[in-house]
Chain A
């Protein structure tokens, strides 16, 4: 039972350090130059929104098939091979066409198979009943999705930062998902709209045969959002929104309406100038996500690299469009698949309810322990308190997020810590009953209880580690608190409780133990 001075200092030092690490949690705004770390309150406690967004892999596959088709057509033409009936099926990641005549199938296949691939084994080519079928590999699409997600996270961050949201958290989940957490925003409608728009802007000429309802070859009918009319827009992109360097919302001097101004970079400005110079008198469409915002007639060449869109904007929609143009286009559409919003008052209620429950539970446990085990029960309570402090300290260090299930986990940890202390006290009592001296009983009791405590805590530890690994959301937070709690429980019961008992014994040298 001997406790070296060094060990004693160590145990007390850790407790003190824990206390120190807890302090920032009770400060409203910790000093910025100090490395304070606080526990974050989960959205369920402070209110806010949680959005789980999924990247549309099919759209990525569709984009890739489109470029492959363009490349294939060009390559076939270069070799003097004919083709007809190109078809794309994004859902099955398939591009297919028929060769001009069956005899050229072999040659056409060779040409298509030689197309550049962005990753190895990106696609496979086969001849199915006379049609040449090109299939994108599942893994290749998944890899594109992974890249697109990394890109999207940056863009999503820029867009959300532009709205002035405070402390948003944007994290990637799995291959094709993004989690957005917005503290304090309990109605995320604007953010959802902002993130639900790809904001792919292109500048394209209107096809010559304007009028009529079917698009001429090389053009597509797109809806004009201000008039609702379909317009035949050329598929060829003259200038891409990616060439923008800046955008802003302004009030148009002439009409007094909201407008969005933009500035091109050097190459964008040159392309824009060339196009407008060569096409004076034609209509030039500004297309956002396959919808025409505006299609003005080119009056004079625009060479300054600046432009202005005057759609039917409100202050909000002009600001948001400018924001999206500045932040850049998303590589593929993102759709919200899970949304959870908690109002601030509900969060406050939960904190109060949880706090009261924790407090009352703690008082009941403390009373019980003193009634049940007297002085050693009191020591167990000190250990419990230290346990709570250490748990808070570690959670602060991790800057963990405390949620309602996490609070429940803390409560459960208290129960398990009590169990460990009870096991020790019961063992000591047994050893006293066997007629051992006080010191021998304490020593034997501790030793025997230790293996039981380690066994039961190790089982719980492993079970909760599995829970953390396989669980999601609230289950994970819960598992994390308990896993940390088990470590602090072992420390406080096996070292701190023991220290208190040993010191008490050394000071008083009792012949009878208070168990």
Chain B
């Protein structure tokens, strides 16, 4: 068993003409991304507590939750919840309160409210355990949102600069366009699945970006090497060759990362499965875009310039 590999994704001498499907790939991607942008505006992302501000209380009741009682107990404290629902099991309750307006007064109120909600729940159904009680003020949620976007933007800029310096601008531009397409699709996925968009999701999106970049860098690395090696080969053939040469690696890595994230999506529980599911989506998108988007873009942009430069030098 240890003497040689038991299986491969594709035979080493296989040559799949990927570039033949370049327009189909680009069109599909563009359409999907466009749809995602539409989804971003309607219905939009389901903002989590981090970016929306407000209160979330998760409680575990003894026996099935009695929503009527809970609602009455909250009403007694003059609290109208935006949502009382069960999640997972019938004895798990999720109570959400929105705090739309901001101002220091409002923030103090938010903080008092979370204590009221906590006690109302315990009083309504004795024996109830409060699993989680979060209250985020409006000013904080705005800051978190801004910081999240800043983190996202700066790491994207870093990726751009690095590829630009290490490769050539066609590579950097193709990579960044591909990443933006990946990013929009992930946002679309979030809009469809209605996962809460919070700080942890920002981490997931950044992971996808990082992973996708990693994938593209490896393919580009091979393209650059082949550009030096085969000085007269047409770019289209050269790209096909490079993709095929790295195909076993691309699929192998994606599979392992996919396998590593899969249990997290299945067993990760309430707090981690959303993250992991988005990761799984991102791995599929990132892998396919390395082949069907990043390389064709490079072909479109560099067909004349990259080749002529190389031949001349």
Contact = CB atoms under 8 A, between A and B. Distances in A.
Interface string B136-152: 11011000100110110
Interface in B259-298: 259-264, 266-269, 271-272, 275-276, 279
A418 interface: yes
A470 B147 contact: yes
B132 A408 contact: no
A345 B131 contact: yes
Nearest to B269: A353
A452 B221 contact: yes
A101 B261 CA distance: 78
Nearest to B154: A466
Contact of A350 (B136, B157, B272): B272
A411 interface: yes
A374 B4 contact: yes
Contacts of A335: 104, 107-108, 111
A459 B263 contact: no
Given A335-B107, A405-B203, A422-B252, A341 B130 contact: yes
Interface string A364-400: 1100111111110110000000000000000000000
Contact of B7 (A52, A371, A375): A371
A345 B132 contact: no
Q: Is the interface of B mostly helix, strand, loop or mixed?
A: helix
Interface in B143-178: 144, 147-148, 150-151, 154-159, 162-163, 166
Interface in B206-234: 206-207, 209-211, 213-214, 217-218, 221-222, 225
B198 to A, nearest CB: 9
Contact of B107 (A337, A408, A457): A337
Contacts of A349: 269
Nearest to B134: A340
A462 B256 contact: no
A123 B130 CA distance: 50
Contacts of B222: 452
B261 A371 contact: no
Contacts of A132: none
A59 B159 CA distance: 44
A458 B261 contact: no
B1 interface: yes
A91 B66 CA distance: 46
Given A342-B132, A365-B259, A475-B203, A456 B4 contact: no
Interface string B160-204: 001100100000000000000000000000000000000110111
Contact of B261 (A346, A374, A411, A467): A411
B86 interface: no
Nearest to A455: B217
A471 interface: yes
Nearest to A359: B263
B28 interface: no
Contacts of B62: none
Given A335-B108, A470-B151, A514-B4, A357 B268 contact: yes
A361 B263 contact: yes
Interface stretch (A12-20, A140-148, A185-193, A197-205): A185-193
Nearest to B136: A338
B115 interface: yes
Contacts of B139: 337
25 contacts: A336-B135, A338-B136, A340-B136, A341-B130, A342-B131, A346-B132, A353-B268, A357-B264, A358-B263, A361-B263, A364-B260, A372-B5, A408-B207, A415-B211, A415-B260, A426-B249, A430-B245, A452-B221, A456-B217, A457-B214, A463-B209, A469-B151, A470-B150, A473-B199, A478-B203
Given A354-B268, A466-B155, 9 more contacts: A339-B133, A341-B132, A353-B268, A357-B276, A407-B272, A408-B204, A411-B264, A464-B206, A475-B202
Interface of B: 1-8, 12, 58, 60, 104, 107-108, 111, 114-115, 118, 129-137, 139-140, 144, 147-148, 150-151, 154-159, 162-163, 166, 199-200, 202-204, 206-207, 209-211, 213-214, 217-218, 221-222, 225, 245-246, 248-249, 252-253, 255-257, 259-264, 266-269, 271-272, 275-276, 279
Question: Which 3 A-B residue pairings sit nearest by Cβ, starting from the closest?
Answer: A415-B257, A353-B269, A360-B263
